[in-house]
Structure 1
Amino acid sequence: MAVISSESQFVTFSLGDEIFAVPVEVVREILDHEEPFKIPHGPEYLLGLRDVRGQGVPVIDLRLRLGMTRTVKTPHTRILVLDVPVADRVLVLGLVADRVFEVVPFRKEQIETAPDIGVRWRSDYIAGVVRRESGFVVVVDLARLFSDSGSALADVGPQSQVA
């Protein structure tokens, strides 16, 4: 009987001292940080738009979206351009990361459910955690992070009006 791989690849990055990961298949590219074009009246975490190969891509300060302090740009600050599947469409987003580290494999059995450990952000955005010698890696549930009813990003596109 053939063994099916239960390993997935993740891109790891930091926000402050915390390490996060997203599935490599949603990462389109990683760019140096540039100031985005500001969008008036957007939520605080929506920094603006950035031109990525001819497409206007919303840039999100993930630190603010997770209830952390605003990102302070350094020479290591990067933008992960992601294709986030949400409901019946794909959102193209740029997430600001303090530093991007590497692509790492995690086995399915390594990814634990998010325990209630008193973290600073809402745990429903956590797909799981992986223990490493240096601490934990938080796997972000991108679809949930950008599809909750409070997210302005989930309301992109035509809206149906209910009378």
Structure 2
Amino acid sequence: MSDVDISKSNSYLSFNLGEEEFAAHVGKVLNILEMIKITEVPMAPAYMKGVINLRGAVLPVIDTRVKFGMSATVYTPNTCIVVLDIDMDGDSVHVGALVDSVQAVLEIPSEGILPPPSIGSRYKSEFIEGVANIDDRFVMLLNMDMVFSSMELSAMKETTEETARTVNVEQVSE
């Protein structure tokens, strides 16, 4: 399937953060990893857990729960890292997002996507693409390109590049 076909699909990877279910478009998901040791990075933003070695590259890992204003992730056997491809002003930035558990790939027809809530949402509505009602439960569809500001992505990218320069990649996540 080409990039154009993927972006036009209505497939979403659903995952849990606490009791809430979210989903990201499959076109943004590169990989799902089991939990591995995350190397902490000094002076990183609070939501950045650290970095891991992903096939010889240093990948920043964020605690999605902290980024969304929730309590920090408590690791369980279901906790995993979803590797995402985020667009930052035309550049591709790869980020690992800690999630409590991955649920399923959902096919959601366009007519099944409701507009994002405008009042009373705990989450910044600019990164909520819509809400889907699936089997009597609401799933918030995230626009992953909008979850982080350009400044946040730049800070993560700089922190990751600095870590890659100062630490041998093999030392990360050993």
> Residues 27 and 80 of structure 1 are in contact (CA less than 8 Å); yes or no, is this contact kept in structure 2?
yes
Deviation at 1:154, TM superposition (A): 3.3
After TM superposition, the score normalised by the length of structure 2 is: 0.80
What is aligned with 2:154? 154
1:42 pairs, out of 28, 34, 44, with 44
Shift of 1:80: 0.4
Other-structure match for 1:108: 110
TM-score (structure 1 length as normaliser): 0.85
Q: When the two structures are aligned, how many residues end up with a matched partner?
A: 151
- Runs of 5+ unmatched residues, structure 2: 1-7, 159-174
Match of residue 57 from structure 2: 55
Query: How is 1:10-25 mapped onto 2 (pairs within 5 angstroms)?
Result: 10-25=12-27
Change in Cα spacing, 1:146 to 1:16, as seen in structure 2 (3 Å) is same
1:117 offset after TM fit, Å?
4.8
Tell me the SS of whatever aligns to 2:10: strand
- Once the two structures are superposed, the pairs formed by residues 5-154 of structure 1 within 5 Å of their partners are 7-149=9-151, 151=152, 153-154=153-154
Paired with 2:113 and 2:154, the residues of 1 have a C-alpha distance of 27
Bigger fraction of residues in strand: 1
Question: Which structure is higher in helix share?
Answer: 2
CA contact (8 A) 2:88 2:150 kept: no
Determine helix, strand or coil for the equivalent of 2:82: strand
Structure 1 position 84, deviation (Å): 1.3
Structure 1: gaps of 5 or more residues = 1-5, 158-163
| RMSD value, Cα | 1.8
Identity %: 34
The 3 A distance-change label for structure 1 pair 88 and 99 is same
Please tell me the residue identity of whatever aligns with 2:75.
K
